[in-house]
Amino acid sequence: MQTETIEYSQNIESTGSNQKLKFKEKFSYGLGNLSANLLITTANTFITFYYTEVAGIAIAIVGTLLLFARIFDGASDLVMGVVVDKTRTKHGKGRPWLLWLAIPYGLAIILLFSSPDFSMTGKIIYAFVTYVLAVGVIYTAISVPYNSMTALITQNQSDRAQLSGFRTMLGFTGAMALTMGTMPIVNFFGGGQKGWTMTSIIFAVVGIALYLICFKNTTERVVPPVESKTAKGNVKTSIVSLLKNKYWIMVMSVMFIGFINSGLGGINVYYAQYILGNPTYVGIIGLASFLPIILGTFIVSPIIGKFGKRNMTIYGTILSIIGSLIIAINPSSFLFVVTGLVVRGLGLAPLLVASFAMLGDTIEYGEWKTGIRSEGLAFSAGTFGEKVGTGVGGALIGVILGAAGYIGGQAEQGAGVLNSIQFVFTYLPILFSIITLIILYFYKLDKEYPFILKELNERKRTI
């Protein structure tokens, strides 16, 4: 067992797992997240509307359906993480799942938005089965291995950050495009069930192609020896090893806080209506929040290797606090709000770029400390945290506004409700950012990583 006291060294040998990646491979990897959004963003944004307005299912039933599906979805993440860790093929551990599931993924999109002319009971059963299949099974089974590829493609810290950067940039670009473009495409094909089916077919074809491109143009270079504890170990051993990994816990905590912040985005419509006085501003609020993140990835990705993932995340978190403080200066001013959101969005970019790369680095630390390498389980916990975190964020909105006395459908709300809306929109993100800074203060893996990687490579030569 290694001690925590180590000497740092920058002289790492250039191994196959540490060689520099070409632009083509980094961009192709990012296309996988663009494909993922064709299902998950479309489902998250439009599935309730589709079920109620097109399939004709009562909204109360839709809410119950989605709740039960989410519970299954969270459990399936962890199961898939274990499956990935036990996968051994000539294509690697995570990458082959893109090849195996690309076509089922496309079919899942089509089935999700193609409600047949059944009885109402039949439509409800169909909706439940296809939603669980698409989001809880197929999406999980392809996204968990895809995410784990960040740690499997390379051990070079700079390239990992850039892989995560392309993943973030193309993912957010796709999410923004889908949010703005889906309904126009549906309407182009005549709306109704026909419009949604035709749109889903287009998304399915594009999604299949993007995943296959991602598979073709990427390579897994980080391959643990078959004699390693990873191959022999069981799930309990892998979980225990993760809980002993202090840096994995830190990164997961930071990511979970970030996902809660994402879930708080549901407050935007209330802020636009009751603080700014114009509900149509919600679209501009969304654009001012997402576009700077996309632009920020262009700035952050090339330089994050120079300043370090931890440091860039700290700088970005401080910038996001400044953005919230700009909003606080004049919370009812549209100009101040948009300016603050732009600054806050730019500040979030380093965290979104660095987080999955940092999660990949913790796997090497865990292997160095315990001898166990669990990419699948480590990254599946990340996707599980994303779903739970965004759910917690949404729940916080309901709890805080409910406690303040919010009553839906009223043109005006009491002072307590208005203060609560401003708290969630402006001050709660500041609180979460401060907690993030405290956690990152203790994160030292960027400095320790070179020595750890060198020693891991030396161990492998002796096997």
Would you state the pLDDT for residue 114?
A: 93
Q: Which two tokens stand for residue 13?
A: 């040998």
Report the alpha-carbon distance of residue 77 to residue 96 in Å, rounded.
17
Average of pLDDT values for 132-153?
A: 92
Reply yes or no on domain 229-463 having CATH 3.20.20.240: no
Q: Is the pLDDT of residue 151 over 50?
A: yes
- pLDDT for position 409: 67
CB 279 within 8 A of CB 321: no
Give the mean model confidence (pLDDT) for residues 89-118: 94
Q: Is residue 367 pLDDT above 60, yes or no?
A: yes
Predicted local distance difference test score (pLDDT) of residue 20:
80
Task: Give 18's pLDDT tier (boundaries 50, 70, 90).
Answer: low
Cα 113 → chain centroid: 23
Task: List the Cα angle 208/381/429 in 5-degree steps.
Answer: 100
Rounded CA-CA distance 383/185 in Å is 29
CB count in 10 Å sphere of residue 303: 12
Arithmetic mean of pLDDT, 299-305 = 83
Residue 129 pLDDT more than 70?
yes
Q: What is the pLDDT of residue 121?
A: 93
pLDDT, mean of residues 91-99: 94
**pLDDT surpasses 90 at 10:** no
Which region among 118-127, 130-139, 293-302 has the lowest average model confidence (pLDDT)?
A: 293-302
Task: Return the structure tokens found at 310.
Answer: 């931890």
Give the C-alpha distances (Å, rounded to integers) separating 119 from 58, 60, 110, 123, 318: 13, 18, 20, 6, 54
Least confident of 58-72, 407-421, 445-459: 58-72
* Angle at which helices 96-112 and 120-131 cross, to 10°: 160
Taking 70 as the threshold, does the pLDDT of residue 226 lie above it? no
- pLDDT for res 224: 62
Do the domains 16-223 and 229-463 sit in the same CATH topology, yes or no?
A: yes
pLDDT at 352 over 50: yes
Task: State which fold the 16-223 domain adopts.
Answer: Growth Hormone; Chain: A; (1.20.1250)
Per-domain residue ranges of the chain: 16-223, 229-463
Least confident of 11-15, 184-188, 229-233: 11-15
Flag whether pLDDT at 301 surpasses 70: yes
**pLDDT score at 349:** 92
List Cα–Cα distances, 351 to 57, 153, 215, in angstroms. Answer: 39, 21, 26
How far is residue 263's CA from residue 389's CA, in Å, rounded to a whole number? 7
**pLDDT single digits (tens) 156-207:** 888 888 898 899 899 989 988 887 888 899 999 998 999 999 999 999 999 9
Q: What pLDDT shows up at residue 180?
A: 81
* Confidence check: pLDDT of 370 > 80: yes
Q: Is residue 448's pLDDT more than 90?
A: yes
Average pLDDT over residues 353-364: 90
The reply to whether the predicted model has a pTM over 0.85 is no
Using pLDDT thresholds of 50, 70 and 90, give the confidence band for residue 145: very high
Residue 12 binned pLDDT confidence (cut-offs 50, 70, 90): very low
Whether the pLDDT of residue 398 is over 90: the answer is no
Distance CA 220, CA 426 (A): 42
Q: What does the pLDDT look like over 23-78, one tens digit per residue?
A: 999 999 999 999 999 998 888 778 878 888 889 888 778 877 877 777 777 778 88
Q: In this model, does residue 438 exceed pLDDT 90?
A: yes
Helix/strand/coil for 307: helix
Residues 355, 389 contacting (CB under 8 angstroms): no
Mean pLDDT of the chain: 86
Render pLDDT for 261-297 as a digit per residue (tens, 0 to 9): 887 887 887 888 889 998 888 778 888 888 998 899 8
Residue 243 has pLDDT above 80, yes or no: yes
More confident residue, 373 or 220: 220
Of 7-21, 86-100, 263-277, the range with the highest mean pLDDT is 86-100
Share of residues in the chain with pLDDT > 70 (%): 92
Mean pLDDT value across residues 341-352:
94
> How big is the chain by its Cα radius of gyration, in Å?
22
Q: Give the whole-angstrom CA distance, residue 219 versus residue 212.
A: 13
Assign 227 a pLDDT band (cuts: 50, 70, 90): very low
Give me the helices (H) in 113-189, please.
120-131, 140-153, 157-188
> Among residues 228, 231, 223, 230, which one has the least CA distance to residue 16?
223
